[in-house]
A and B are shown apart, each in its own frame.
Chain A
């Protein structure tokens, strides 16, 4: 049995399968690989492109409220719908989209545990290339909730807080700027002073589903040494992997005051004069080395 603090924030692939076509439940696929949706998706799912639809196309920023309303309304999603998000890379951008949904106050939204890969590898789970017909609907978002989004000034505040770097060990130690082949990078390599390294992937099992509550608690509170009573900021490179960890800390472990720093290393590591640390953190969990 799962003992997460907010179990309603996850559904299983079986639950999704049983609820295909149920009115009021909307499936949304968000992938790192933007060609994956077109190649095949869960019947009835709409696809959001993280590069062109989930961020402002001029300013480096999240979608503003009118754009978010247009996106959801255009996809036939109403504010009363229960939205199930899923995607590749163990739900990286699905988690990012969920964070965005929460910024704009969508009430019922959750992740499909295990994401696209789990569905793909299970027998008899259908995929289709057919795009389901959508009836556009008016969507009214809430004012953006800044309490779950960290800006660089908050990272620099110097107050006691948990900083969690969820990138790979090589990015954290400064051996590389970014995983090979990525266009978004930074001027300098390393990590924010004081950050604890807990790579995002430490939170998932080999089948892509989240680890059990006890394992997660041990990982973040014992191995990494986060203090549950302090505010927490998670960051990565552009804010997608850290959304995954933000989700774990907020909904599975139930921490209060967790923020995703979407500027992340591409912002911090490019700013003039900011302090940077390099090298290994003594508290890197052995399992992730």
Chain B
């Protein structure tokens, strides 16, 4: 192994850390205020393709080290895709089984990727007429499997497990601090399990309480896989509003046009959640005019081709002879 030369004994060694961070890339054409320096942290450069590598590894490693996972007992986890893909691939490396429980609205690309990564798949119907506290189908089904078949499944539960936030406290936060040489003034994140927002905010504010953490949420009724707006956050025990300086709501359609703009103007093949973050960051920059901001771009666009075409039908034009 020679990590400085990026030569590894196995793929798990390529997971990120302050010494092996995911890249920061400066936004140029899409930055409306040149006096405000804006970077994107490209989380799809993680070995399994998304920001979720970080939490997935902390959760899985903990269960493996504690002996919870065995040849007979694998992992069951509710996921909107990325955590499951990371966890399934990591579990395969370690020799454990993985069952992913996903809501039906998860894009087909992610469901197929889960199967490619070796996960067994449960697909549950989406919430019909949700009521506060009713829980979500995927979370409830994963809990059911872990409880009914405890000898076959253990559930790390990314929505409630503090190690999810800890992963960002120990990796993403220190990376951001080091990569900006302590100069970061704004962090722009989306909310899902809230692990990224909570873990990064905790670390950065310990270093410099003046760092502003801005969460960008899609408008209600949104169709941006993996994200939640605040009304949908009751399932996450990691949501820490006291660590957020602002929660900005952005029309969810801008997630898709933003992703397209990022590809066409910055050469960044970012997914729709990154498009949403960009729009939120632009609004803050126009207001504040100076600073050094970093946007967390959770994953790239490859898993959202069907969603992109659904929202931007012109993309399908010219794709047939």
- A residues adjacent to B (C-beta < 8 A): 32-33, 35-36, 39-41, 88-90, 116-117, 120-121, 125-129, 167-168, 179-182, 199-201, 204-208, 241
Q: How many A-B residue pairs have CB under 8 A?
A: 78
Chain B interface residue count, CB cutoff 8 Å, equals 23
A121 to B128, CA, bound (A): 21
Q: Contact: B122 with A35, CB < 8 Å? A: yes
Q: Contact: A179 with B148, CB < 8 Å? A: no
Residues of B within 8 A of A208 (CB): 133-134
Q: Choose, from B28-36, B38-46, B137-145, B202-210, the stretch at the interface.
A: B137-145
* Nearest CB of B to A70, in Å: 28
- Not counting A121-B135, A181-B104, a sample of 9 additional A-B residue pairs whose C-beta atoms are within 8 angstroms of each other reads A36-B141, A36-B144, A88-B140, A120-B140, A120-B144, A127-B144, A180-B126, A199-B129, A201-B134
Residues of A within 8 A of B126 (CB): 180-181
Q: Contact: A39 with B145, CB < 8 Å? A: yes
Q: Contact: A181 with B133, CB < 8 Å? A: no
* Nearest CB of B to A244, in Å: 10
Residues of A within 8 A of B318 (CB): none
Task: Report which residue of B105, B129, B149 has the largest number of chain A beta carbons within 10 angstroms of its beta carbon.
Answer: B129
* Nearest CB of A to B32, in Å: 34
Which residues in chain B, 100-157, are within 8 Å of chain A measured between CB atoms? 104-105, 122, 124-129, 131-135, 137, 140-141, 143-145, 147-149
In-complex Cβ contact of B128 among A41, A181, A204, A206 (8 A): A181
Given contacts A33-B141, A35-B124, A181-B104, contact A40 B147 (CB under 8 A): yes
In-complex Cβ contact of A200 among B104, B129, B133, B143 (8 A): B129
The main secondary structure of chain B at its interface with chain A is loop
Given contacts A32-B125, A200-B129, contact A117 B147 (CB under 8 A): no
Residues of A within 8 A of B134 (CB): 89-90, 117, 201, 208
In-complex Cβ contact of B141 among A35, A90, A126, A200 (8 A): A35
* Nearest CB of A to B225, in Å: 14
Q: Contact: A39 with B133, CB < 8 Å? A: no
In-complex Cβ contact of B147 among A89, A120, A180 (8 A): A120
* Nearest CB of B to A104, in Å: 27
Cβ-closest chain A residue relative to B137: A33
Q: Contact: B140 with A117, CB < 8 Å? A: yes
In-complex Cβ contact of B131 among A116, A181, A204 (8 A): A204
Q: List 24 A-B contacts (CB under 8 A).
A: A32-B125, A33-B137, A35-B141, A36-B141, A39-B141, A39-B144, A40-B149, A120-B143, A120-B144, A126-B147, A127-B147, A129-B148, A167-B129, A179-B128, A181-B105, A181-B128, A199-B129, A201-B129, A201-B131, A204-B133, A205-B133, A206-B132, A206-B133, A208-B134
* Nearest CB of A to B77, in Å: 14
* Nearest CB of A to B221, in Å: 8
Q: Contact: B128 with A32, CB < 8 Å? A: yes
Q: Contact: A129 with B131, CB < 8 Å? A: no
* Nearest CB of A to B309, in Å: 19
In-complex Cβ contact of A40 among B104, B128, B131, B145 (8 A): B145
A36 to B139, CA, bound (A): 12
A78 to B140, CA, bound (A): 32
Q: Contact: B133 with A207, CB < 8 Å? A: yes
Which residues in chain B, 69-106, are within 8 Å of chain A measured between CB atoms? 104-105
Residues of A within 8 A of B105 (CB): 181
